[in-house]
Structure 1
Amino acid sequence: MSLNLVSLVGRAGRDPDVRYFESGSVVCNLTLAVNRRSKNDEPDWFSLEIWGKTAEIAASYVRKGSLIGVTGALKFDRWQDRGTGAQRSKPVIRVDRLDLLGSKRDTEANAGNSYDDQF
């Protein structure tokens, strides 16, 4: 049995970057800052990738500083550095579920809404 499941709660580090494709697909990328238990520590930063209807919801309601919860899978984007030719990689959370956790004023939506990526 294997399991690849990541659940995080934190604040959006920037406004979502949304791209629409000719195929009709939509992807939303953003960063998430998750505080550690000690207030003296710097937050951990995660790159998020959200697809489909959930991406459209994120684009509409998530703004820099919004409190959100996400559930998804860890993946690694891999590429070859153009300058050095070295292989590079970056961890990314492929989000399946998005929870808007802030107040209505913060997110322009009802607190606690959940959206599952079913598309």
Structure 2
Amino acid sequence: MNLVTLIGRLTRDPELKYSQSGKAFCKFSIAVTREFNRDEADFINCVAWDKRAETIAEYLRKGRRIALQGRLSVRSYEQNGETKWMTEVIVDKFDFIDTAAASGGSSYEDKKSSNEPGFSNEVVSEDTIDDDDFPF
């Protein structure tokens, strides 16, 4: 089974682009702190497609927290005659952890569709989350 669940902070603003066929995709990375040492983090590359990509690019910015679920994808490509390997998470579901008010962004809560893939249909206030609730 190839299933990844992560909670982390965006390390940069998401990049929304469109494929040659017109399909939206969004690349971003998140920092996930380690349970045993909160001073260390893993930086994970992520890719979302279609409506998920457009939503993430519109409402998330560097520093915002996100919970996501997806699958690992490992691919290779040639660069200057050398084979390079890329590992990334393909996002299937996501949810925002902090509210726009907490981070100064625009609100997503009013526009979120009840059939939008994600963990829940409500945005959780950062004030109601205790850092001890997370395993890292």
Q: Shorter-chain-normalised TM-score: which range? A: 0.7 to 0.9
Shift of 1:20: 1.9
Higher strand share: 1
Answering whether residue 34 of structure 2 is matched by residue 36 of structure 1, we say yes
Q: Distance between the aligned counterparts of 1:72 and 1:43, measured in 2?
A: 19
Residues 21 and 86 of structure 1: CA distance in aligned 2, closer, same or farther (over 3 Å): closer
Higher relative contact order structure (alpha carbons within 8 Å, sequence separation ≥ 6): 1
**TM-fit CA distance, 1:88:** 1.4
Which residue is 1:97 aligned to? 93
SS of the equivalent of 2:54 reads helix
1:49 corresponds to: 47
Instruction: Describe the superposition over 1:62-99 as per-residue Cα deviations: whole angstroms up to 9, x where unpaired.
Output: 100010011000011211121xx222101110001111
The answer to whether residue 14 in structure 2 is matched with residue 16 in structure 1 is: yes
Letter in 1 for 2:89: I
Aligned length: 110
How far apart, in 2, do the equivalents of 1:24 and 1:81 lie?
25
Shift of 1:17: 0.6
Q: Distance in 2 between matches of 1:87 and 1:99?
A: 35
| Equivalent AA in structure 2 for residue 109 of structure 1 | Y
What 5-or-longer segments of structure 1 have no aligned partner? none
2:63 alignment partner in structure 1 = 65
Identity over aligned pairs, percent: 32
Matched position secondary structure for 1:116:
coil
Deviation at 1:22, TM superposition (A): 4.7
TM-score by length of 2: 0.73
CA RMSD of aligned residues (A): 1.9
1:23 to partner: Cα distance: 2.6
* Secondary structure at 1:55 match in 2: helix
Report the 3-state secondary structure (helix = DSSP H, G, I; strand = E; otherwise coil) of the residue aligned with 2:63: coil
